[in-house]
């Protein structure tokens, strides 16, 4: 078994060292003979065993004796640890590619490939009650949510993408163009839901509803402009109204709609519906019912839409 363990180690070290490549070749020869039910005839095990014991005996004769006595057992232990660690790394790489995090979808645990947790960052929902356990992706669902009042396009498509974001949320702004790209390149039903998570942004939901109600086609261009505008400008109703005017809207009708009590009722209804999803931060993207929390790399959203295509 020592040959198998040594092959893994020296194969890695051989990338950087010519001397280790020679040892890796000997280890491979030994492994090949073992798997073909032939004994090693290179003396590789004995040579490596003597080198290891020679190092140990100068420091602790008792330790060298114990290692010599249990050499095969120790080789098995290190071999199993090597296989386990290799499998762990492969799983981490897979998770990073598919989910954007070493620990799986929407995990907030430390990931060496994303040390700043940029792929899991969210603007927290202020109304979310405190809990002793962190929120999980499995807690998120659209099953109890009515999305019929939110801006939606391409309603006949089978695949569905729901983007829940905030105009003033940096993470929503990071994810928004990726979702727009996903929608543009694929035949999907796309729903945009505004969930204000930043102070001073709550009033924007009424403007969103009124803009969509007045002209559902112009809405998407205006929505793009909202996400590309300076966040400080969006805190001013005059700026938002000017942006509506530039996109061809009747601002007078929009202002009257915003003040209408029916619009206030609709805004409250929509917030309640989004709360039913279990949302705990923006952006939250549902792709065919599966939740992706935080801005992910584009490949993660694409894999969520086409789960059987890795590359």
Task: Summarize pLDDT for 52-101 with one digit per residue, the tens.
Answer: 667 777 777 877 777 667 656 655 565 565 556 666 666 766 666 666 66
User: What pLDDT sits at residue 89?
Assistant: 63
Helix/strand/coil for 281:
strand
- Residue 284 is classified by DSSP as E
User: What pLDDT sits at residue 248?
Assistant: 96
pTM (two decimals): 0.68
User: What pLDDT sits at residue 15?
Assistant: 43
Q: Given its phi and psi angles, is residue 248 left (phi above 0), alpha (psi -120 to 50 degrees) or beta?
A: left
> What CATH fold (topology level) applies to the domain 123-305?
Glutaredoxin (3.40.30)
Q: Please list, in sequence order, all residues whose beta carbon lies within 8 angstroms of the beta carbon of residue 220, skipping any fewer than 6 positions away.
A: 151, 153
User: What pLDDT sits at residue 131?
Assistant: 39
> Across-strand partners of 42?
none
Tokens, residue 278: 């279990």
User: What pLDDT sits at residue 215?
Assistant: 96
**Weakly modelled stretches of the chain, pLDDT under 50:** 1-17, 20, 23-24, 128-134, 309-311
Segment 49-55 long-range contacts (CB within 8 Å, at least 24 positions apart): 49/2
Distance CA 34, CA 31 (A): 5
User: What pLDDT sits at residue 27?
Assistant: 54
User: What pLDDT sits at residue 183?
Assistant: 95
User: What pLDDT sits at residue 12?
Assistant: 47
Distance CA 280, CA 282 (A): 7
Q: Please list, in sequence order, all residues whose beta carbon lies within 8 angstroms of the beta carbon of residue 233, skipping any fewer than 6 positions away.
A: 239
Domain boundaries, the chain: 2-99, 123-305
């Amino acid at each position: 078994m020592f040959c198998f363990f040594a092959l893994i180690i020296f194969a890695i070290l051989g990338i950087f060292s010519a001397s280790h490549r020679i040892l890796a070749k000997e280890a491979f020869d030994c492994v090949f003979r073992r798997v073909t039910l032939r004994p090693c005839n290179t003396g590789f095990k004995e040579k490596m065993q003597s080198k290891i014991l020679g190092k140990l005996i100068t420091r602790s004769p008792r330790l060298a004796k114990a290692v010599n006595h249990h050499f095969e057992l120790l080789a098995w232990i290190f071999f199993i640890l090597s296989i386990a660690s290799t499998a762990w790394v492969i799983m981490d790489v897979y998770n990073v590619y598919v989910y954007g995090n070493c620990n799986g979808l929407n995990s907030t645990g430390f990931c060496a490939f994303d040390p700043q947790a940029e792929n899991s960052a969210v603007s927290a929902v202020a109304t979310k009650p405190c809990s002793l356990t962190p929120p999980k992706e499995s807690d998120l669902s659209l099953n109890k949510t009515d999305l019929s009042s939110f801006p939606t396009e391409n309603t006949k498509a089978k695949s569905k993408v729901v983007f829940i974001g905030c105009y003033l949320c940096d993470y929503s702004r990071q994810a928004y163009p990726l979702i727009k790209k996903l929608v543009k390149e694929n035949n999907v039903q796309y729903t945009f839901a505004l969930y204000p998570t930043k102070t001073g942004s709550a009033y924007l939901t009424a403007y969103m509803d009124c803009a969509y109600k007045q002209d559902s086609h112009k809405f998407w261009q205006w929505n793009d402009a909202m996400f590309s505008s300076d966040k400080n400008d969006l805190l001013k109703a005059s700026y938002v109204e000017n942006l509506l005017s530039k996109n061809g809207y009747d601002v007078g009708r929009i202002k009257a709609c915003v003040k209408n009590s029916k619009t206030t009722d609709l805004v409250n209804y929509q917030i309640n519906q989004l709360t039913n999803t279990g949302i705990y931060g923006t952006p939250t993207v549902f792709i065919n019912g599966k939740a992706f929390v935080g801005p992910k790399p584009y490949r993660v959203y694409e894999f969520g839409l086409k789960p059987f295509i890795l590359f």
